[in-house]
Amino acid sequence: MNFVIDFIFLAIIILTAFISAKYGFIRTLAELIGFVFIIIIINSVSLPIAKAVYESKIEKEVLNYSGSDDNKVILPAEDFINSLPKYLTKDNGIFSVDKKAIAECYEKNITAGQKSIAVKINNDVIKPATVRILSFFVSAVLFMVLNIAVHILAKILNDIVSHTFAKGINQKLGFIIGIIKGIVICIVLCLIMLLYTANTNKGIWAFGPDDINSSYFIRFTKTILPNYGIFSYIF
């Protein structure tokens, strides 16, 4: 089924090229440059923003149970889990923090005080899992906002500059740049698919994880990605 995925990506590239020929060189080039910068910005700031949101809004709720290390009366792990915000531990919820991992971390650190246990669980289990999900939401919001801004600016720039190009040349150059834009769009789609399968172990529609990972476009995308930011969740 991997060839079907590659065929879909190829169709997207061709379709994007023809649409870009209609839009012309200037608008397509501006959108392409903007699109690349959007990807760079999202990968650079999504995790820091997600961490800031977690530390300012969620972390205090997680650590509220901690008490003091002077108190050596250690309550059952289940009590700690039940003390957590329900939106973190709800089965099939948005975050669905691994209760088993929390319990295991709790038991491993049971000789420490309540505060140390809570901090350890927060840092090793709850925070990484929650920040990961938050970073995906931040990425989606940033993409929508920045993409709208890029399209508006590209259209304005096109209206100002496009008259300097002959119509035929403008369309031909738009088609060529459109091929590159189509490839970038496919890379973004590959990123979404990789992030989804890597973090859910599930396929997409009729395509299983093995089909997705064996796609030429998917494999190519993985070779060019830096292993930092939200991209690190793929590897």
Checking if the pLDDT of 38 tops 80, the result is yes
Select the more confidently predicted residue: 69 or 229. 229
Ranking 7-21, 88-102, 180-194 by mean pLDDT, the lowest is 88-102
Q: Which residues pair with 204 in a beta bridge?
A: 207
Residues with Cβ within 8 Å of residue 26, at least 6 apart in sequence:
154, 157, 158, 161, 162, 165, 170
Q: What is the pLDDT of residues 186-234, one digit of tens each?
A: 999 999 988 888 887 777 877 788 888 888 999 999 899 888 888 988 8
As beta bridge partners, residue 207 has 204
Higher pLDDT, 49 or 208: 49
pLDDT in tens, 115-133: 788 888 899 999 999 999 9
Instruction: Give the global pTM.
Output: 0.82
What integer pLDDT is reported at residue 111 of this predicted model? 74
Task: Judge whether 170 and 24 are in contact, CB under 8 Å.
Answer: yes
**Would you kindly state where each structural domain of the chain is located, as residue ranges?**
1-24+165-235, 49-156
Answer yes or no: is pLDDT of 141 > 80.
yes
Confidence of residue 65 (pLDDT cuts 50, 70, 90): low
- Residue 19: the pLDDT is 93
